[in-house]
Structure 1
């Protein structure tokens, strides 16, 4: 933290607030609320699954709309508006209401959260000199882990008494983060000092970069499929299907959040030690195992490792994929391609969420969802290995 100048530290903390509100609270904190809402009669288990799908569908809309809105109205203005909208969407769920009401607000929370993720991250990194971007990025993405950890440690106790108290806790935390960061996003954007002069056009090599980017994009989309069992259904799976109850299941969700707190730092360290391509492939393979094993052996050590590791990969995967992309294209083109990858991820995530919900409706069990997610992650690991081959050949040739 000392290596980041104070103005950039303020910007990084504002970015942290954006990822905390938009992803940590608006999306991931929904998981520990599912069981209380089912047990207290707000919705059936099937309806809560469809509410999760509505949130991810909204995320798709926001991912596609974020960049055009920022170009039209300015990044700072869009970020401020969506911080407020996300907080309002959480507050709108404070009381039992018809399914359509919740679906609308969960969809809006997904859309505004995605806009925050796309625009705030791009805006913050655009104002940051290249030498400070890794540190600023690590601070920003830790907001995701803070939101997950907060939802695991605080929300279950509140929601266990009454689900409305859980929603109120999320809305209050979002309001605090919004108020503290609005001033930073109100300041006019500054350039990064001209330390980068991207070329006007990117001419990829005939074989290598283009193929590797396509394989990277395909693998990243499969990650969207593999994440859904843990990020939406994990707590309810452990609480009701495995039979652990809400308190013990929430403890595993807290482990997920603690993993998310350190995931960005661990991913950065692994990338420095082994390189982005090998670290990405190995991580994806381990993610596949961490998703499949709890469906077969749902006991302590397996659940502990699965929760912690999958939590760590939540921000860690963003670090590894964006870092790998930076190896394959010039920085001036990375933002455009990263936006496309984010939109593709959101599209696949929304489609997969509805597929998972239909699968759960048909089977009445979460285990087939874990099998589907684990298989997708293992295929993604194979694609990551394949994508690294041209890079290794070019490195050896030099």
Structure 2
């Protein structure tokens, strides 16, 4: 082969690589909106909403539980919607409705309406996240210029990017507005940011292809061999969402100002982006679900630090440890599934894992809020959630190796 031919091939590969990364970055705005803005930014607005609406901690937790119920419904419905309307259309429609729900949340102070809007954001958020992940998996299949795990890491890191954006904007906005009514403008700001994300997401979606239809045969997977990881993933859902729901309110009650909250939330989001890539090698090298156990132990340590001390070094260390670990749990569960099951079992396995995870998310905020109603306040509720993360890590260690047919393709576990 001549030197010019080699240069042309290299140039072509670099062009394909850049194009693929551009597409995935556009699709990653989906998790940025549905996770970073629609799910997690609620924690930043919770103190203001509680102040005006006189919510109990149980009511505050119920809002995120409603979001989790919607997520469960969306996770169950996403596959059939994608088959009927197409993966690309489902992704864009769900993403658009999620943005509309953010804007509508600012329009009402009625608790019932807010619960419905949080649930709607959960339904459409799950559909957008899952279908977007399917488009990335399709791009990753057969890649010669990128490792599939890298492309998936970029997509999952979108959720962290949304956390960073909301963390840098919402507390600053609230600092210049009324401490009670400022939450309305916060939801409007989140909706406007979401609208800005729709254009690049739409462009990226147009550059993708529909994933091939899933086979309809042999969908019964050996769930009895995966009781440990199913249980661990469910406990993770209970523990992590409690922290993400109440940690800002906990710091706010302890006297943290707007600047500290901005730094904390921005650091948590930045760490989640870095952690999505940092944990790839340990996950791939550790046997069985040991990688998942290590990540959950790190997550629990991050959750415990603010309970030991609310000093700035402890809270910022918490942001780094927790933020750098919670999205990696999704990658770890995905890795165990990929190594343990043949391709035709991935879809039902991931669907079951998603349902268990969503059920944990439903329980977590309400459980933490109810426990926190006593004299100990949020300290006890967050301590229980950290304890559940420790238990989740121990349960993950019980997962045994399962020898089945292997494949080089990558499944998606929803987070």
TM category (shorter chain) comes to 0.7 to 0.9
User: How many Å apart are 1:183 and its aligned residue?
Assistant: 3.4
CA distance in 1, matches of 2:35, 2:256: 27
Match for residue 117 of structure 1 among 110, 129, 132: 129
User: How many Å apart are 1:137 and its aligned residue?
Assistant: 0.3
Q: Does 1:225 pair with 2:245?
A: no
User: How many Å apart are 1:387 and its aligned residue?
Assistant: 1.0
User: How many Å apart are 1:334 and its aligned residue?
Assistant: 1.8
Contact 1:256 1:311 in 2 (8 A): yes
Match for residue 352 of structure 1 among 359, 364, 376: 364
User: How many Å apart are 1:272 and its aligned residue?
Assistant: 4.0
Match for residue 153 of structure 2 among 138, 163, 173: 138
Q: 1:159/1:44 Cα in 2 relative to 1: closer, same or farther (>3 Å)?
A: same
**Structure richer in helix, relative to its length:** 1
Contact 1:87 1:174 in 2 (8 A): yes
CA distance in 2, matches of 1:270, 1:300: 29
Match for residue 238 of structure 1 among 225, 245, 251: 251
Q: Does 1:153 pair with 2:173?
A: no
Contact 1:94 1:164 in 2 (8 A): yes
| Bigger mean CA offset, 13-22 vs 246-255 | 246-255
- Measured against aligned partners, the alpha-carbon deviations of 1:322-362 in whole angstroms (never above 9, x if no partner) come to 11211111234223311221121012211232222322345
* Residue equivalent to 1:174: 194
Contact 1:202 1:329 in 2 (8 A): no
Q: 1:332/1:7 Cα in 2 relative to 1: closer, same or farther (>3 Å)?
A: farther
Q: 1:118/1:87 Cα in 2 relative to 1: closer, same or farther (>3 Å)?
A: same
- Measured against aligned partners, the alpha-carbon deviations of 1:152-191 in whole angstroms (never above 9, x if no partner) come to 1111111232223321221111111112212333467355
* Residue equivalent to 1:189: 209
CA distance in 1, matches of 2:225, 2:126: 26
Q: 1:246/1:284 Cα in 2 relative to 1: closer, same or farther (>3 Å)?
A: same
CA distance in 1, matches of 2:80, 2:219: 22
* Residue equivalent to 2:6: none
Match for residue 44 of structure 1 among 55, 58, 61: 55
User: How many Å apart are 1:203 and its aligned residue?
Assistant: 9.4
CA distance in 1, matches of 2:14, 2:258: 40
In structure 1, the gaps of 5 or more residues are 393-398
Partner of 2:310, secondary structure, is coil
Partner of 1:386, secondary structure, is coil
Query: What's the C-alpha RMSD, in Å, of the aligned pairs?
Result: 2.8
Partner of 2:105, secondary structure, is coil
- Residues 72-87 of structure 1: matches in 2 within 5 Å? 72-87=84-99
TM-score (norm 2): 0.83
In structure 2, the gaps of 5 or more residues are 1-12, 404-415
Q: What is the aligned residue count?
A: 382
* Residue equivalent to 1:215: 228
User: How many Å apart are 1:221 and its aligned residue?
Assistant: 0.6
Contact 1:91 1:168 in 2 (8 A): yes
TM-score (norm 1): 0.87
